[in-house]
Amino acid sequence: MARPTLLAGDMGGTKTLLALYDLEGETLIKRHQQRFVSADWSSLEPMLKAFVEERPKDVQAPTHGCLAVAGPVRNRQARITNLPWQLKEEDLAAAAGMQQLELVNDFGVLIYGLPHFGADQQLVLQEGSQDDGPLAILGAGTGLGMARGVRTNNGLMALSSEGGHREFAPRSDEEWQLACWLKQDLGVDRLSIERVVSGTGLGHIAHWLLQQPGAQSHPLRSVAEAWRRNMASDLPAQVSLAAEEGDPLLRHALDLWLSAYGSATGDLALQELCSGGLWVGGGTATKQLNGLQSALFLKAMRDKGRFKDFISGLKVTAVIDPEAGLFSSACRARMLAESGGTLA
């Protein structure tokens, strides 16, 4: 039987990546990719149609596909943040002339790629064992994404999560002071984990420290105040750079962030009992790779009382491929094709 051509997509409010894959042996090979400015299109259907029709002549039309979308998927439908698009699987498959197309949350879709990532797509943070148990991933970016995967008779099933919106639990007097200040600064009654453990959270931590009496003359104080008003500058990136260059205040901000991130990672491992492996991804993974490999992050991850040995025995891996979402969508499309439609 001919090998199918697979469509993979990773779309958000700003840009959409579409790609076509096929198989060489058991390996997924990307044959064609195109980047679209989402706002240039009235809806996703004409974009998909144009992409498929204008593919290279030596690439077959796709039969099955998966699109990772920035938002929740319910009843095979999704609405994209920042775009007036209502997506329906049936309509999208018809527009692209495909047998089957599935919409999956853009963080949850990573579950389908995890078992297939190569050495160039990931880096081991902690050596450990893996079995056929659940998988889990979390990743700090603008927010804090979480997802888990369970094995079924039909292969992996991804279960998306909003665990990043759980309550932040301070572990020290300093984290308590940070939490109290953040609630007041943000005007909220409860503080979610992602207010601290995210790229935005690193900005909040730095802004708090830069408000302290001894930091009035710090060169990033005015930058932090401007960032807090309109989020226009990339304060988290500047904090990381200054920390790497030896700024003691911003080194402390980064250490607070890494410790909170490590603790959240260990909490997810406990919640999911992810003996099949734990991954750390998101937009900050590559940027903060040294921090994720640090004793500070790993100690906070392992510091879970009676379950310290369990956490210490897990294999923990960082996802470093910037196109991990696209590749994972292709992995899911392959599952759909190989199931013969039974995963519909």
DSSP per-residue codes, 177-194: HHHHHHHHHHT-SS-BGG
pLDDT per residue as tens digits for the range 93-116: 999 999 999 999 999 999 999 999
pLDDT of 336: 94
- CB proximity list for 140: less than 8 A, separation 6 or greater: 194, 197, 198, 199, 201, 261, 282, 283, 284, 285
Is the separation of the CB atoms in 253 and 205 below 8 Å? yes
Name the CA dihedral angle for 329, 332, 333, 338, rounded to a multiple of 10 degrees: 160
pLDDT per residue as tens digits for the range 9-58: 998 778 899 999 999 888 999 999 999 998 899 999 999 999 999 999 99
Interatomic CA distance for residues 28 and 30, integer angstroms = 7
Return the percentage of the chain with pLDDT > 70, whole number: 98
Average pLDDT, the chain: 94
pLDDT of 9: 97
Structure tokens at 203: 């900005």
Count of beta carbons in the 10 Å neighbourhood of residue 304? 17
Comparison of pLDDT for 232 and 126, the residue scoring more: 126
Is the separation of the CB atoms in 283 and 143 below 8 Å? no
Helices then strands, counting H and E runs in the chain, come out as 12, 14
Interatomic CA distance for residues 144 and 200, integer angstroms = 10
Interatomic CA distance for residues 320 and 146, integer angstroms = 16
Which contacts (CB < 8 Å, 24+ apart) does range 49-56 have? Answer: 49/95, 49/96, 49/97, 51/18, 51/96, 52/7, 52/96, 52/97, 55/20, 56/31, 56/32
Interatomic CA distance for residues 312 and 275, integer angstroms = 11
